[in-house]
Structure 1
Amino acid sequence: MTKIDILSLIQSRYHTFTNTEKKVADYILENIKDVIYMSITDLADACNVGESSVFRFCKTLKLRGYQEFKIALAHNTSLEDEMPQLSSKITMQDTIEELSSKILTANVNALTETHNQININDVSNAVEMIIKANRIHFFGVGASLMTALEAKNKFMRITNKTECTIDSHLQIMSASLMTKDEIAVLISYSGSTKDIIQVAKVVKERGAKIISITRFAKSPLTSYSDITLLCGSNEGPLQGGSLSAKISQLYLLDLLYAEYFKRTKKESSINKESTANAVIEKML
């Protein structure tokens, strides 16, 4: 994508905007650095407009959507010596020791924020839903698919009712065959990925329950969710797939796994021993 001076573009076209678009533009110009880390729902709420109005604002700027707008904004706000593709904290002058310290701090902060946002009742209810479900489907696309596969790998060691489909077409087909006795765990940092939202919509239509693991309490995904678990990592639009975001998602999944194991200790212990023995000959 060609770099766009998005702030100059907004200012130059301001007089052509509708009143609603001017509300969005005003908020962006006054809160530039905050907007980079906001979901489309958060921005819409802050401007007191609908998500569709934010999307139309982006289209008025000749952009494909909100994500392209945030990428352009991230380019616009980065300083010459910063590395927005990695983090706003990392600069070209950093030594390896400084990089090591900054990355450690980012990961620790992500885990700490995730821990602080944990709602004990939500976790307890989520585990109970997983236990009662006949089948658990883990869904994700892009970097979040890797997290979904990790969850499948983790849970399949103690239960035989897990699924994780890789291809997005097969995911929506799988969702279309779900029943009310099954559960979908949807993983999406932004909560606004089109494929995941489509899966959530179909799962909901089938009457199955949804647990979402995402960064934003308000997003298109959470509107379909029965339970939302929030991960606490700020990921800029140029930092897609950052490990701090993945680590915070894995932390929540590990919490669900440990509590599931506790509540189903007898069955889970037997299954864990069986799966461990099944691969023992693969080890030296």
Structure 2
Amino acid sequence: MSCITKIRQNYEYFTQTEKKIADYVIENSKDVINISTQDLAELTKTSPASIVRFSRSLGFDGFGELKIELVKSLQSFNDEEIDTILKHDDTVEEMVQKIEGRVQNTLEETVRLINFKNLQEALDSIKKAETIYLLGVGASALVAMDLQQKLLRINRRCVFSLDSNLGLATSVHITEKDVVIAISYGGRTKEVNLAVKRARDNGAKCIAITKWGKTPLASLSHISIFLPNNEGELRIGAINSRFAQLLITDIIYLGIAKENFELTEHHLRETKKIVQPLKE
């Protein structure tokens, strides 16, 4: 497990001081490998002793060993950036193996990042909601559509629009009885963030599905469910993030569906019955 992943996995168990150090290390990892314990203590407004305790809480002997592992993590990341998912001379077999490896690693890291307390709080809010509003643009919109059609099949009132302007306009009607699930890997989509801000001002519970870190969307939301921060800035398409988002939304769907399984089963049978003639 990489040093960065280890920090993220243990984040919820850190003290407030340790979280300050963790935030700085993750956001400035390339700089941290070149500074001293004293430097990091000053930059995080903590103490050298706190830096050492933080390092040991992760299983390292001290800050020096943490930096060594951090260098390895960065080298691995850089190798991954250079070794893109698609090369001109790849065979079909090589391409398939690369995708399989990426997807498997992404799903495993997504599960490791789950804060189960936050997930349960999100599920409780969704179950109580009068209407579920979904927000997402681009590839995230496809994930939102997938979740919407699943929720509609089990008779949950769910609103989503592919037109992001309409989605933003709809946010003015969201009330404290509703819940918003905003899906944005980068967490910087203007239409999504503006809609979340309005919904929050209206009293609605807002849930973010976004990459790990202090994204604008995470800051606006009551609950954040984080995705691995492993998608490059220059990418051939949303692959890692899409699979991570689909995993989280499937978990949310199943968490809602199991609440009253007999009723869920009834709704699924009824929806299947109405569309069955179309397949004959």
Q: What is the TM-score of this pair, normalised by structure 2? A: 0.69
Instruction: Indicate the residue corresponding to 1:217 in structure 2.
Output: 213
Which secondary structure state, in structure 2, belongs to the residue aligned with residue 131 of structure 1?
A: helix
Instruction: Indicate the residue corresponding to 1:158 in structure 2.
Output: 154
Instruction: Indicate the residue corresponding to 1:104 in structure 2.
Output: 100
Instruction: Indicate the residue corresponding to 1:250 in structure 2.
Output: 246
Runs of 4+ in 1 over 4 A off after TM superposition: 27-31
How much does 1:266 deviate?
2.8
Which secondary structure state, in structure 1, belongs to the residue aligned with residue 217 of structure 2?
A: coil
Measure, in 2, the Cα distance between the counterparts of 1:29 and 1:125.
Answer: 31
Is the CA contact (8 Å cut-off) linking 1:180 and 1:206 kept in structure 2? Answer: yes
Instruction: Indicate the residue corresponding to 1:148 in structure 2.
Output: 144
Query: Where in structure 2 are there 5+ consecutive unaligned residues?
Result: 1-26, 32-42, 45-77
Q: Which residue, out of 169, 173, 186, partners 1:173?
A: 169
- Which protein is richer in helix relative to its size? 2
Measure, in 2, the Cα distance between the counterparts of 1:240 and 1:178.
Answer: 36
Aligned residues: 211
Is the CA contact (8 Å cut-off) linking 1:191 and 1:216 kept in structure 2? Answer: no
Instruction: Indicate the residue corresponding to 1:16 in structure 2.
Output: none
Q: For residue 263 of structure 1, what is the amino acid of its counterpart?
A: E
Which structure has the higher relative contact order (CA within 8 Å, separation 6+)?
1
Root mean square deviation of aligned Cα: 2.6
Which secondary structure state, in structure 2, belongs to the residue aligned with residue 228 of structure 1?
A: strand
Instruction: Indicate the residue corresponding to 2:53 in structure 1.
Output: none
Query: Where in structure 1 are there 5+ consecutive unaligned residues?
Result: 1-26, 32-46, 49-77
Instruction: Indicate the residue corresponding to 2:274 in structure 1.
Output: 278
Q: For residue 95 of structure 2, what is the amino acid of its counterpart?
A: L
Correspondence 1:1-284 to 2 at 5 A = 88=84, 90-232=86-228, 234-239=230-235, 241-284=237-280
Measure, in 1, the Cα distance between the counterparts of 2:273 and 2:85.
Answer: 46
Q: What is the TM-score of this pair, normalised by structure 1? A: 0.68
- CA distance change for structure 1 residues 139 and 29 in 2, over 3 Å: closer, same or farther? closer
Instruction: Indicate the residue corresponding to 2:72 in structure 1.
Output: none
Residue by residue over 1:32-75, the C-alpha shift from the partner in whole angstroms, topping out at 9 and shown as x without a partner, is xxxxxxxxxxxxxxx98xxxxxxxxxxxxxxxxxxxxxxxxxxx
How much does 1:90 deviate?
4.0
Which secondary structure state, in structure 2, belongs to the residue aligned with residue 234 of structure 1?
A: coil
- CA distance change for structure 1 residues 131 and 177 in 2, over 3 Å: closer, same or farther? same
Measure, in 2, the Cα distance between the counterparts of 1:152 and 1:30.
Answer: 40
